[in-house]
Chains A and B, each alone.
Chain A
Amino acid sequence: EPEVTQTPSHQVTQMGQEVILRCVPISNHLYFYWYRQILGQKVEFLVSFYNNEISEKSEIFDDQFSVERPDGSNFTLKIRSTKLEDSAMYFCASMLLAGGSSYNEQFFGPGTRLTVL
């Protein structure tokens, strides 16, 4: 069964460093998402991406964050200068856009745990 994959599973970085979190969505999906979960808090939406552009973003997704689909398979989240408060589990999700009234499910990857020291 196709699934969303994410690498690395755990990333440790120093404050101020740039990190890139990678996701491979399900191959025929067209909508892509990033969410994060700070330890002990709820899962929060960061950004959605469709047709090679951001379709929606949250207040969390400031200028330090960017997303890219550099080729036909990867979807990346870049944090330019990490802060201690960026430490969290980051989840990628993808969704097939289908016509009609059938609901489209977001499929989630296993997450990348980012630790900023």
Chain B
Amino acid sequence: AQSVTQLDSHVSVSEGTPVLLRCNYSSSYSPSLFWYVQHPNKGLQLLLKYTSAATLVKGINGFEAEFKKSETSFHLTKPSAHMSDAAEYFCVVSPWQGGKLIFGQGTELSVKP
């Protein structure tokens, strides 16, 4: 069975400092992995996706994630946080294209001025 574990329920950073949101996955075969973001009172928006192409994936708003098979990780990073990055972030795995998405527990990112 596939699953994802987000290692932090809440991360707080100062504006302009780097962001690291951690995610580990469990999969019996090559997974498709995603990061979604949810701003308050908004729907879930795809930030980036890994689908067995390049291991370093670039997404929107300056975010990127690196797929590391040896560590079963897919951590999300951004060099410099902006106030507008404050939101809930979900690491997601999909067993097959078009199939259900399996969500992690979510990480709430706070950005301090």
Binding site for B on A (CB under 8 A): 3-4, 31, 33, 35, 41-45, 48, 50, 56, 58, 91, 93, 95, 97, 103-111
Is the pair A108, B98 in contact by a Cβ cutoff of 8 Å? no
Instruction: Please list 6 pairs of residues, one from A and one from B, whose beta carbons are closer than 8 Å in the complex, sorted by A's number.
Output: A31-B98, A43-B90, A50-B98, A56-B99, A103-B51, A108-B44
Given contacts A48-B99, A103-B51, contact A42 B44 (CB under 8 A): no
Quick one: closest A residue to B44, CB to CB?
A: A108
Nearest CB in chain B: distance from A109 CB, A: 5
Most chain A Cβ neighbours within 10 Å, of B32, B36, B100, B101: B100
Give the top 5 A-B pairs by smallest Cβ distance, nearest first: A45-B100, A108-B44, A43-B103, A108-B43, A110-B43
**Which residues from chain B contact A104 at a C-beta distance below 8 Å?**
97-98
Interface of A is mostly: strand
How many angstroms between the C-alpha atoms of A60 and B49 in the bound complex? 27
The A/B interface has a contact count, at CB < 8 Å, of 54
Cross-chain contact A108 with B45 (CB below 8 angstroms): yes
Residue of A33, A42, A103 contacting most chain B CB atoms (<10 Å): A103
* B46 touches A (CB below 8 Å): yes
Q: Which of B46, B51, B98, B106 contacts A42 (CB 8 A)?
A: B106
Question: B77: CB under 8 A from chain A?
Answer: no
Q: Do B98 and A45 have beta carbons less than 8 Å apart? A: no
Which B residues lie within 8 Å of A95 (CB)? 98
| CB of B97, distance to nearest CB on chain A (Å) | 6
- The answer on a CB contact under 8 Å between B49 and A103 is yes
- Chain B residues near A35 (CB, 8 Å)? 101, 103
Known A103-B51, A105-B49; contact A91-B43, beta-carbon cutoff 8 A: yes
- Please name all residues of chain A whose beta carbon is closer than 8 Å to the beta carbon of B41 when the two chains form the complex: 110
Point out the residues of chain A lying under 8 angstroms from B44, CB to CB.
Answer: 43, 91, 93, 108
Residues 67 to 111 of chain B near chain A (Cβ within 8 Å): 90, 97-106
